[in-house]
């Protein structure tokens, strides 16, 4: 979106042409309604590798400027190559030139990256199991994970063998969630089903 398109309604308003005010609310101004405008719109600057500059080689050369596309899974990353593979040395030599390692990595998806820290000892795990056995109503997985500063997944692994039978709470939780889903209307239900379908497709990578 270039500045020309944004500027256009303002200029029209100032120039006092015969336009009603409702046309200013139109989301897309006309800009490809003539041959000349279309040509002008499509006249984009070529990539810098196509332009002749002082740095470009003097003799005949090949310009490699592929369109952007998702990378192929058949290109194994350097880290995944086994130690005896001959491509390892070749790629390691050219990787610095072709893909220089950025000094700053891109921002992580989650602000606090979850790393396993393995700080709990056997005594802590026994304490987790004791708390759950003694007061199962009070200590749910989330509270335990906050108390011991670990993931609730780890808590559930610890509690799977502690002897507490959680079938009743599981059933109650499922009934509660089913009740919530029953109150959904058609739009929310369809959006939820679409989301599940999209995740299935993502797992198959289609």
Partner 1 sequence: MKRLRLERWSGQLFTARSTPARIRPCCLRQQQAALPPRIRFSSSAAVLHDDLIMEDGEELDEESSTSNTNYPSPPLEAAFNSSKLAALHARLNLSQKVPLQTMARTLVDPSADSNADFNNAALANLGGSIMSYHVSEWLLCTYPRLPMTVLFAAAYAYSGPKTLQLVGKEWGVETAAAPGEEVDPGYLQFSKLKPGQALQSQGGSIRPDRKSYYRRGISSRVVYDDEFGDTVSKQAESDLPLPTEHAYASFVKAVVGSVYLHSGSAAAKTFVTNHILSRYLQIASLFQFKEPVRELSRLCAREGFEYPVARILSETGRRSRHPVFVVGIFSGKDKLGEGAGPSLGEARTRACVHALKAWYLYSPGANVRVPSEMEAAGAKEWEPVHIDIGEVIH
Buried b / exposed e along 147-173 (16+ C-beta atoms within 10 A): ebebeeebbeebbeebeeebeeeeeee
DSSP 3-state of 162: coil
- The smaller minimum CB distance to partner 1, of residues 85 and 124, is found at 85
DSSP H or E segment with residue 175: helix 167-182
- The smaller minimum CB distance to partner 1, of residues 82 and 179, is found at 82
Distance of alpha carbon 57 from alpha carbon 157, whole angstroms: 62
Q: Minimal distance in Å, beta carbon 206 to partner 1?
A: 8
Residues that bind partner 1 (CB under 8 A): 70-71, 73-82, 84-85, 101-102, 105-110, 113, 115-116, 198-199, 202-206
- The smaller minimum CB distance to partner 1, of residues 60 and 84, is found at 84
| Residues 198 and 205 sit within 8 Å (Cβ to Cβ) | no
Distance of alpha carbon 132 from alpha carbon 129, whole angstroms: 5
- The smaller minimum CB distance to partner 1, of residues 105 and 180, is found at 105
* Cα torsion through 106, 108, 109, 115, rounded to 10: 150
Q: Minimal distance in Å, beta carbon 88 to partner 1?
A: 12
Q: Minimal distance in Å, beta carbon 2 to partner 1?
A: 16
């Amino acid at each position: 979106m270039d500045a020309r398109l944004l500027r256009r309604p303002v200029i029209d308003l100032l120039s006092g042409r015969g336009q009603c005010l409702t046309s200013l609310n139109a989301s897309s101004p006309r800009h490809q309604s003539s041959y000349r405008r279309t040509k002008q719109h499509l006249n984009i600057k070529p990539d810098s590798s196509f332009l002749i500059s002082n740095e470009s080689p003097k003799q005949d050369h090949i310009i490699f400027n592929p369109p952007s596309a998702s990378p192929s899974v058949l290109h194994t990353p350097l880290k995944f190559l086994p130690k005896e593979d001959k491509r390892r040395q070749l790629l390691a030599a050219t990787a610095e030139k072709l893909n220089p390692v950025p000094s700053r990595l891109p921002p992580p998806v989650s602000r606090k990256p979850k790393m396993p820290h393995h700080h709990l000892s056997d005594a802590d795990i026994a304490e987790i199991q004791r708390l759950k056995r003694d007061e199962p109503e009070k200590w749910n997985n989330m509270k335990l994970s906050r108390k011991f500063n670990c993931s609730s997944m780890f808590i559930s692994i610890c509690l799977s063998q502690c002897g507490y039978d959680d079938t009743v709470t599981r059933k109650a939780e499922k009934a509660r969630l089913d009740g919530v889903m029953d109150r959904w209307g058609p739009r929310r239900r369809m959006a939820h089903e679409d989301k599940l379908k999209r995740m299935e497709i993502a797992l198959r990578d289609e």
